[in-house]
Amino acid sequence: TAKAEGKGRSQIFHGQMDIDYHYRQQLKADLREAVAKDQLTLAFQPLLDISSRRVVSCEALARWTHPQFGTVPPATFIPLAEEMGLISEITSWVIRHAAVECSRWAGEVAVAVNVSARDFRGLDLPVVIEDALREAQLPPGRFEVEVTETAVIEERDLASTALGRLAARGIAIALDDFGTGYSSLSYLNALPFSKLKIDRSFVVEVDGNARALSLLANVARLGRDLDLVVVAEGVETEAQLEAMLEHTGVQQVQGYLFSRPLPSRDIAELIKRFNG
């Protein structure tokens, strides 16, 4: 009967919700365990100077291989960690390990770590970073912090204090995913940024689309006028690179064209190959 069908459908619907709910609960429990057992790893992706093509820094990106589900992307587990109050533990782990790995690379190549809005509440970032640098014997000039517009707006006062102290110690602060968040630009002046990372969405069409190229060129010009180092994220083709080199003030590039995120040992090799 119609009533029975309706009931069946709603059971299927609830069944699906239960799966999603249980999957998330399972992931959360497993994430807590993975963090406790030191099972997260780091991958590093190089940022290159656009004209010399030398590696100037590498971004540390968290990786989790789940025992049953395989690779869980950070876009899934970082928000879970934020919900669970686990993000600060992950961030301080990333900071310590990124500093140690960077100290093993040749030359002056720096390392960049991502910081969440919640870390400004959960961590004394300047202290955590200073301890990690001392432990790894890494100078502050080789460490960078990446923070999104959303994070600095959500935690305006705490972010301002922490970033101010970090910048005063010679640590570069990058504004990440620029152009995807809030449209108010006032905080660009209020906070001590030294780098602007223009989001991948501004890069995809720069070869062949005049309006897209003009948009990227103007965003890059804004950054240059504010004395920021301008980085383009998500560069995948030579055509995109050529368009940026000829028509924009972009100074550094990051993307699959040069390298996917790699384990630290492979990055050490890559640095020798590119900078050697």
Interface positions with ligand C2E (CB under 6 A): 45, 61-62, 73-75, 78, 94, 114, 116, 176-177, 200, 234-236, 254-256, 261
The minimum distance between CB 93 and Ca ion, in angstroms, equals 17
Query: Using CB atoms, what's the residue nearest to Ca ion?
Result: 146
Answer for the pair 144, 110: CB distance below 8 angstroms, yes or no: yes
Return the beta strands (E) in the chain as ranges.
41-49, 55-66, 70-72, 110-114, 143-148, 172-178, 195-198, 229-232, 252-253
Nearest alpha carbon to residue 45 among 230, 234, 242, 239: 234
Quickly tell me which residue has 């030294």 as its tokens: 194
The minimum distance between CB 3 and Ca ion, in angstroms, equals 48
Query: Using CB atoms, what's the residue nearest to ligand C2E?
Result: 255
Instruction: Tell me how far apart the alpha carbons of residues 258 and 84 are, in angstroms, rounded to a whole number.
Output: 35
What is residue 256's DSSP assignment? T
- The answer to whether residue 177 forms part of the interface with Ca ion (CB under 5 A) is yes
How many amino acids of this chain bind Ca ion (CB under 5 A)? Answer: 5
Nearest alpha carbon to residue 109 among 173, 55, 29, 180: 55
The region of 36-44, 70-78, 229-237, 253-261 touching Ca ion under the rule CB under 5 A is: 229-237
- The answer to whether residue 101 forms part of the interface with Ca ion (CB under 5 A) is no
- The answer to whether residue 119 forms part of the interface with Ca ion (CB under 5 A) is no
Answer for the pair 248, 51: CB distance below 8 angstroms, yes or no: no
Q: Which does 85 bind (CB under 5 to 8 A by kind): Ca ion, ligand C2E, none?
A: none
Query: In terms of CB distance, is 21 or 267 closer to ligand C2E?
Result: 267
Contacts with Ca ion, residue ranges (CB under 5 A): 114, 146, 176-177, 233
